[in-house]
Amino acid sequence: MILRFAFEPADNTRLARVCGSLDAHLREIEAALGVKVTRRDAEFRVDGPKAAAERAKALLENLYERARRPLPAETLQLALVEAKAPESSTPDGDGPLVLRTRRADLSARTPRQHQYLQQILSHDITFGLGPAGTGKTFLAVACAVDALERSTVQRIILTRPAVEAGERLGFLPGDLTQKVDPYLRPLYDALYDLLGFDRVTKAFEKGQLEVAPLAFMRGRTLNHAFVILDEAQNTTPEQMKMFLTRIGFGSRCVVTGDTSQIDLPRGTQSGLIDAEHVLAKVKGIAMTRFTSADVVRHPLVARIVEAYEARALREAREA
């Protein structure tokens, strides 16, 4: 199918932003959607399968509308993720989910991300499993911020197992919070993005935000809190059971992890993999399993994930 169209009113500055240097953006769209895009001034021609050609046309129109201002690199990448989604990022006809955060443009980029958000909002315990870059942690923090802003919880508790990624850092200086900070940096980054530095600082002072090392969670009951356990693939089954049984009244819990990046000592079972099997049929617990199709970082990240998944599949077949 061939689609021909032109942008009105024609604006050379906006066209340059949409096409990129030496039409680099057009080449990325071609590679991602499997179409051929050619242009002459403001007139475009898209050649390819009907569905792909229509998606490419809609994507270009969307980018042209946004191009009144310079287009950051991530804008194109996120737009490509949305364009490649099977239908829309709101399955079953549901409208977009609105979360109260500082990011007005925050939304699910893929159907599975939308499902993940729905499950967090409707279940007391939600598991998000999948590769890096799929938004597991960021969306969990966004839901936590939304719950705090709406006063449905009184505090946000961030926790993570203190396990190094194949290295031994030795003893870290400072108090308990300073020792754990390096491990919780991804959660802090998301909080700063969604609340702002000043709000995060004040929330810590008021006790609305708390850093709780996983090893020190035993014996606690967490009422009216939004609790996030990040990097859960590095918990043991005993730690996972201990953590999940801390949840009290009025609380919500999100557990995130990537079972392909386990840093536990060889021979130690991952608590996330164990929980995935043990809790699969427990009513009230939701599980979202992301794939490389949900990666919303640089497109190379999705290809890297796919390459490692393909190797793991080959090795499993040969075993």
pLDDT in tens, 10-32: 889 999 999 988 888 999 889 88
Q: Which residue has the higher pLDDT, 299 or 121?
A: 121
Domain coordinates of the chain in residue numbers? Answer: 2-84, 94-318
The side-by-side arrangement of strands in the sheet containing 155-159 is 209-211, 155-159, 225-229, 252-257, 125-129, 285-289
| Bridging pattern class, strands 125-129 and 285-289 | parallel
In three-state secondary structure terms, 155 is strand
Q: Which residues in 93-111 are b (16+ Cβ under 10 Å) and which e?
A: eeeebebebeeeebbbbbb
Across the range 147-171, mean pLDDT stands at 75
The DSSP output letter for 108 is: -
d(CA 290, CA 134): 7
Name which of 149-153, 175-179, 189-193, 272-276 the model is least confident about.
175-179
Of residues 254, 263, 266, 260, the one with CA closest to residue 162: 263
Query: Which residue has better confidence, 151 or 298?
Result: 151
pLDDT for res 297: 74
pLDDT of 305 reads 83
Amino acid at 181: D
Residues 280-292 have a mean pLDDT of: 92
Looking at residue 238, its pLDDT comes to 95
CATH 3.40.50.300 given to domain 94-318: yes
Q: Residue 115 and residue 85: Cα distance in Å, rounded?
A: 13
What's the mean pLDDT when you consider all of the chain?
A: 85
In this predicted structure, which of 33-37, 78-82, 280-284 has the lowest mean pLDDT? 78-82
For the cut 70, the answer to whether the pLDDT of residue 175 exceeds it is no
Find the mean pLDDT for residues 259-288: 92
> Cα(266)–Cα(93) distance, rounded to whole angstroms?
46
Sheet architecture: strand order including 2-6: 2-6, 43-47, 36-40
CA separation (Å) from 90 to 97, 178, 180, 300?
Answer: 9, 40, 37, 25
pLDDT on residue 88? 43
71 and 63 Cβ atoms separated by less than 8 Å: yes
pTM of this structure = 0.72
pLDDT value for 169: 44
Just give the CATH number of 2-84: 3.30.1370.10
